[in-house]
A = this chain, B = another copy of it.
Amino acid sequence: MRSPAMHVISAASAVGLLLAASMPGSAQQKSDPKSLEQHKTSPGGKYEPSLDVLGGSKLEPPGAKEGVPTLSPAEFQAANQLYFERCAGCHGVLRKGATGKPLTPDVTKPLGFDYLRDFITYGSPAGMPNWGTSGEMPKDQIELMAKYLLNEPAQPPEFGMKEIKATWKVTVPVDKRPKAKANKIDIDGLFSVTLRDTGEIALIDGATKKIATVIKTGYAVHISRMSASGRYLYAIGRDAKVDLIDLWMDPPQTVAEIKIGAEARSIETSKAKGWEDKYAIAGAYWPPQYVIMNGDTLEPLKVVSTRGMTYDTQEYHPEPRVAAIVASHFHPEFVVNVKETGQILMVNYQDLDNLRVSSIGAERFLHDGGLDSTRRYFLVAANARNTVAVVDLKDRKLVRLIREKDGIGDKPHPGRGANFVHPKFGPVWATSHLGDETIALIGTDPVKHKESAWKVVQVLKGQGGGSLFIKTHPKSKNLYVDTPLNPEAEISASVAAFDIANLEKPYEALPIGQWSGISVGQRRVTQGEFNKAGDEIWFSVWNAKDQESAIVVVDDRTRKLKTVIRDKRLVTPTGKFNVMNTRKDVY
């Protein structure tokens, strides 16, 4: 059996946050992304008014180095592969650190081979998995990895237009697709469910709860998004593979695919008036770039690098990864969140040859977020900085950074967040947290509730830390908060339901795991998603790949179990995306 840590490491990027914690000797130390900064600024040096402008005196000559173990090309290749599969998600493709610590030689060499080997073997209570004692990595792999980490990181290859285009396939051309919907599915009612560990998505009928079809996709699909009309569905894998699925076909099927890089997380579609279904955009972790594609063919049109300056210290960052992307409804623009530089890019897609981009300096480690109920404002969590940034998509400006001192908790993780009308403070947007049990409610109405706008107006206490997603619906009176990453099995298998009309009232813990009828495994319950009508909420009961998982459907009005979807094909279900709510940004 796999250890719980193993579940964590194999989960989506969100989960990787739990691994933020520490390298050896820092068990007492809080995870501090500044260690990265210190590392990065060190080569700068003082200004010396000489001709030594290229800093030759500070450069190390290339070649073999003392005390650095050498690897054969085959070993190096194997270690590199292993590093990508096991480590890059948290420690970064270039080993510069991200949610995990930096693993560049200036950090690893003082620790030394034995220390690294033992640390990989035994893990740390702060979040590093026990790769050795869990049986996940044999001894020789661990030793190889420790040696690899003492060497300079390899620069992975670029993946520009030429490489992207070589992966592009249109399997069903536009003129071979149906002219009208050719199936009997209620498309707006459909749920696209990520089957993480099989590299598939399941399309489940919202009314019958039957699986309409299971479609092969990229590795560990991160999210699904729908075109503005709802006809097209886009899934993106962690391996940066994008699948375009035509929901009008019978059954719905993949009509085009492409790979936009080596590692990716985000995809979105154009939603501004007049631009519906026209473009898709995908954001990559490596290379750090985003790619704009034709909406109905995935033909890559524009590749734009995100490498550039951090918003605050204005130092160059070589690997600023693209986190969440949302589509503006106010302008023909995509909102691209660049993690390491803390820049929010408003990418105007009206004229791709003369591309206009506004770079809004916000906060580092931008991760995910969503629109307020008017869709004018975008709220995004800079999770490692305990900050929510608010951007005005109409005026393309930062509105406010809401910080820890303002009431944001430890590592906010909103998903897209939850919008509802607070009885006292009017429209609010809410986020739960990975690091603690709090739920922060932020006022979002600067017109009728000016005093509350962009402030944490109330903090609720949920079941505990380890929350990934919070959810409600305009028709719902409930606010649901999951805790799939909580170390307590019972908490991770249940969901807190708050009464929006009376938020002082303690939450009710819904035992979703128990309701699923599954009795083995960790039964992590995650990602509530409403149906089209807004009267049911679906939760994933997410077990390991070799265990049974399920989807539990709850009646929103009564908070009672409505039905359980159990099917052999439902392997490791995580994210679920209802077509209607996703295309209309209802959350």
Enumerate chain B residues within 8 angstroms of A289, measured Cβ to Cβ.
309, 316
Q: Which residue of B lies closest to A357 (CB)?
A: B357
* A16 CB to nearest B CB, Å: 17
Q: For chain A residues 31-78, which have a beta carbon within 8 Å of chain B?
A: 41, 43-47, 49, 51-65, 68, 70-73, 75-78
- Report yes or no: A53 in contact with B315, Cβ–Cβ below 8 A: no
Enumerate chain B residues within 8 angstroms of A156, measured Cβ to Cβ.
54-55, 59
Interface size, chain A (Cβ < 8 Å): 83
| A167 at the binding interface (Cβ < 8 Å) | yes
- Report yes or no: A307 in contact with B304, Cβ–Cβ below 8 A: no
| Contact mask for chain A residues 207-238; partner B; CB cutoff 8 A; 1 contact, 0 none | 00000000000010000000000000000000
Enumerate chain B residues within 8 angstroms of A78, measured Cβ to Cβ.
56
| A270 at the binding interface (Cβ < 8 Å) | no
- Report yes or no: A162 in contact with B307, Cβ–Cβ below 8 A: no
A151 to B44, CA, bound (A): 23
| A360 at the binding interface (Cβ < 8 Å) | yes
Q: Given that A72-B61, A308-B307 are known contacts, is A160 also in contact with B316, CB under 8 Å in the complex?
A: yes
Q: Given that A58-B157, A316-B158 are known contacts, is A239 also in contact with B53, CB under 8 Å in the complex?
A: yes
- Report yes or no: B57 in contact with A161, Cβ–Cβ below 8 A: no
* A499 CB to nearest B CB, Å: 39
| A337 at the binding interface (Cβ < 8 Å) | no
Partner of A157, one of B45, B62, B286, B361: B45
A315 to B46, CA, bound (A): 34
Partner of A162, one of B65, B313, B357: B313
Q: Which residue of B lies closest to A341 (CB)?
A: B305
- Report yes or no: B166 in contact with A47, Cβ–Cβ below 8 A: yes
Q: Given that A53-B84, A54-B262, A316-B158 are known contacts, is A64 also in contact with B61, CB under 8 Å in the complex?
A: no
A360 to B302, CA, bound (A): 12
- Report yes or no: B354 in contact with A355, Cβ–Cβ below 8 A: no
| A93 at the binding interface (Cβ < 8 Å) | yes
Partner of A315, one of B61, B161, B398: B161
- Report yes or no: A163 in contact with B45, Cβ–Cβ below 8 A: yes
Enumerate chain B residues within 8 angstroms of A44, measured Cβ to Cβ.
157-160, 162-163
- Report yes or no: A71 in contact with B61, Cβ–Cβ below 8 A: yes
- Report yes or no: B47 in contact with A59, Cβ–Cβ below 8 A: no
| A397 at the binding interface (Cβ < 8 Å) | yes
* A184 CB to nearest B CB, Å: 33
- Report yes or no: B314 in contact with A302, Cβ–Cβ below 8 A: yes
- Report yes or no: B60 in contact with A73, Cβ–Cβ below 8 A: yes
- Report yes or no: A314 in contact with B309, Cβ–Cβ below 8 A: no
* A378 CB to nearest B CB, Å: 13
Enumerate chain B residues within 8 angstroms of A49, measured Cβ to Cβ.
167
Q: Which residue of B lies closest to A291 (CB)?
A: B314
| Contact mask for chain A residues 137-160; partner B; CB cutoff 8 A; 1 contact, 0 none | 000000000000001101011111
21 A/B residue pairs, CB under 8 Å, sorted by A? A41-B160, A43-B158, A44-B162, A45-B163, A47-B259, A54-B80, A54-B262, A55-B157, A56-B77, A56-B154, A61-B70, A61-B72, A61-B73, A61-B77, A160-B309, A160-B314, A161-B313, A287-B316, A354-B359, A354-B361, A357-B358
Q: Which residues of A contact B (CB under 8 A)?
A: 41, 43-47, 49, 51-65, 68, 70-73, 75-78, 80-81, 84-85, 88, 93, 151-152, 154, 156-163, 166-167, 219, 239-240, 259, 262-263, 286-287, 289, 302-305, 307-309, 313-316, 351, 353-361, 396-398
